């Protein structure tokens, strides 16, 4: 048995029975990092000695008879845009290459309170702006299924770490699909919670009205475990929802009888790989065979979502990244006056994709263009939300593709921003409307994974997890992992 290939709940059971120790589990994952990281490059920072000490502490507490959280002792990776006290938080940018926060993000505090073992910080597209994890200032991350391919982005490092056995679970962030897309490309479960369900305090902001933190895991049970640990109201985040946090594992019943599932046709976009479309429809057919009532439906404003997203998100990024001026923290490149210093700092500190989005955002917010672009995009966003509100009067869940293709070759789209942005065409609507979205593996196409995306109304994570769990239990996916 390779301990690094266990799910969190499998490992938790072994730990509780003392058949393995947290230190043994952590060492197994660190060994996997040593073996595969030179190829995968999932991490920016690895913390082996800190991880081992945290594991030893969990073993001491368990030996003393303490009642521990199910995630206690589980080796966990954190996307490197989550603030970690005393540990570099780079956002994969030269701008923050040496930035060490003085505080932990709320989700980090909650994972530490649960007793997880923090392995390190994972690679991402710079400031989470990308769909392939090629826009890191340091190096691209490879897909463990085929290292010549991208892992998806922007949480590609977190996804690759879990898929390669270099972490048992990981956290990512999702602004327009950045958890769900890597989950699909890497054969994982990825959950983007309802906006406000998980505190954003300590998440380095990209698009403040769109960002949300969530788990990348090997199965739905692990996603439920992690969400239960990190969800909940936080006074440090004014957008955090004061909703009670259920034990999401109680929702995991392999039964979808009576659930109404809609299939919006607008998500089967022009240019979609026919094999991907076929795999998604077969996944929907499987849900119908399990007893769900499946019906086609329409979300007519979906066709405007990508254009609206790529106005709203860069506009918010432009405002959020204005703080990186060489004065307060991060990189500073001296100049002959303050303005020259700011210009030189931003020129050296930001990569090409971040600069592109800042320029788009600044343009759309400028005088004379605000009404024509930004305000109109926000109105489209309202129409998209109204489409979903109407759909959820008739359906419990919507089932759609996650991406138009399987993972694509490294370098194939990096010089073509439009082709790269089209990767997000099936995911951005969820962020625009603040909805939860769950991706579960549903097929292999040419040896590469495809994820079925399940969407729900705000606060419907339990229904999504139930649906995903029932679908997962009807598959043999766990036997098709960790191929090398």
Cα–Cα–Cα angle for 456, 169, 317, nearest 5°? 60
Which residues 6+ apart lie within 8 Å of 17 measured at CB? none
- Residues 31, 424: Cα–Cα separation, whole Å: 34
Residue among 12, 79, 240, 460 flagged as catalytic: 79
Angle in degrees, 0-180, between the axes of helices 22-40 and 48-63, rounded to the nearest 10: 160
- Tokens linked to 353: 């994709």
- Tokens linked to 220: 């739905």
Question: Which candidate, 463, 447, 445, 446, places its Cα nearest to that of 455?
Answer: 463
- 3-class state of residue 195 by DSSP: coil
Question: Which candidate, 453, 419, 411, places its Cα nearest to that of 435?
Answer: 453
Distances (CA, A) of 308 to 304, 312, 373: 6, 6, 8
Which residues 6+ apart lie within 8 Å of 431 measured at CB? 174, 175, 176, 177, 192, 195, 207, 210, 212, 309
Residue among 93, 158, 173, 178 flagged as catalytic: 178
Helices (H), 119-273: 156-163, 180-186, 220-230
Residue among 21, 83, 154, 199 flagged as catalytic: 154
Cβ proximity of 134 and 140 under 8 Å: yes
- Rg of the chain taking only CA atoms, in angstroms: 21
- Residues 484, 481: Cα–Cα separation, whole Å: 9
- Residues 33, 28: Cα–Cα separation, whole Å: 9
Number of H helices, E strands in the chain: 15, 11
Active site residue 154: yes
Which residues 6+ apart lie within 8 Å of 378 measured at CB? 308, 312
- Residues 159, 327: Cα–Cα separation, whole Å: 34
Cβ proximity of 167 and 51 under 8 Å: no
Torsion angle of alpha carbons 218, 191, 321, 108, nearest 10°?
-60
- Residues 27, 178: Cα–Cα separation, whole Å: 29
In this structure, is the dihedral angle defined by the CA atoms of residues 469, 474, 478 and 483, taken in order, positive or negative?
Answer: negative
Half-sphere CA count of 353, side-chain side, radius 13 A: 27
List residues with catalytic annotation: 79, 154, 178
């Amino acid at each position: 048995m390779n301990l690094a290939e266990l799910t969190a709940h499998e490992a938790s059971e072994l730990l509780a029975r003392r058949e393995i120790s947290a230190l043994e589990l952590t060492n197994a994952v660190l060994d996997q990092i040593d073996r595969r990281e030179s190829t995968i490059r999932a991490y920016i920072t690895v913390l082996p000695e800190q991880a081992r000490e945290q594991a030893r502490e969990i073993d001491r507490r368990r030996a003393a008879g303490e009642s521990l959280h199910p995630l206690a002792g589980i080796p966990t990776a954190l996307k490197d845009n989550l603030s970690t006290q005393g540990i570099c938080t780079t956002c994969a940018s030269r701008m923050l290459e040496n930035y060490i926060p003085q505080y932990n993000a709320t989700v980090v505090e909650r994972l530490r309170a649960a007793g997880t073992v923090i392995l390190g910080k994972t690679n991402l597209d710079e400031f989470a702006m990308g769909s392939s994890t090629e826009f890191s200032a340091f190096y691209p991350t490879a897909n463990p299924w085929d290292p010549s391919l991208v892992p998806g982005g922007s949480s590609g490092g977190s996804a690759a770490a879990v898929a390669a056995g270099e972490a048992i679970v990981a956290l990512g962030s999702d602004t327009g699909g950045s958890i769900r897309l890597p989950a699909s490309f890497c054969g994982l479960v990825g959950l983007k919670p309802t906006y406000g369900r998980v505190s954003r305090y300590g998440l380095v902001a990209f698009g403040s009205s769109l960002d949300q933190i969530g788990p990348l895991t090997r199965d739905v049970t692990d996603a439920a475990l992690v969400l239960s640990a990190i969800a909940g109201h936080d006074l440090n985040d004014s957008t955090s929802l004061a909703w009670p946090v259920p034990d999401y594992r109680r929702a995991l019943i392999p039964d979808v009888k009576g659930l109404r599932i809609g299939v919006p046709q607008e998500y089967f976009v022009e240019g979609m790989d026919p094999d991907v479309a076929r795999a998604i429809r077969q996944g929907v057919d499987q849900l119908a065979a399990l007893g769900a009532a499946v019906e086609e439906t329409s979300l007519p404003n979906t066709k405007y979502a990508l254009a609206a997203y790529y106005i709203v998100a860069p506009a918010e990024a432009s405002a959020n990244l204005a703080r990186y001026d060489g004065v307060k923290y991060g990189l500073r490149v001296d100049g002959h006056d303050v303005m020259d210093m700011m210009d030189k700092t931003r020129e050296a500190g930001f990569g090409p994709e971040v600069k592109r989005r800042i320029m788009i955002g600044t343009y759309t917010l400028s005088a004379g263009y605000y009404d024509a672009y930004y305000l109109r995009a926000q109105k489209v966003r309202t129409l998209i939300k109204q489409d979903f509100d109407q759909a959820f009067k008739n359906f419990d869940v919507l089932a759609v593709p996650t991406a138009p293709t399987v993972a694509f070759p490294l370098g194939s789209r990096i010089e073509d921003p439009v082709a790269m942005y089209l990767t997000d065409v099936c995911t951005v609507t969820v962020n625009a409307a603040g909805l939860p979205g769950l991706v579960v593996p549903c097929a292999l196409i040419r040896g590469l994974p495809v994820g079925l995306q399940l969407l729900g109304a705000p606060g419907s994570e339990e229904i999504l997890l139930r649906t995903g769990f029932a679908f997962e239990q009807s598959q043999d996916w766990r036997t098709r992992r960790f191929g090398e």
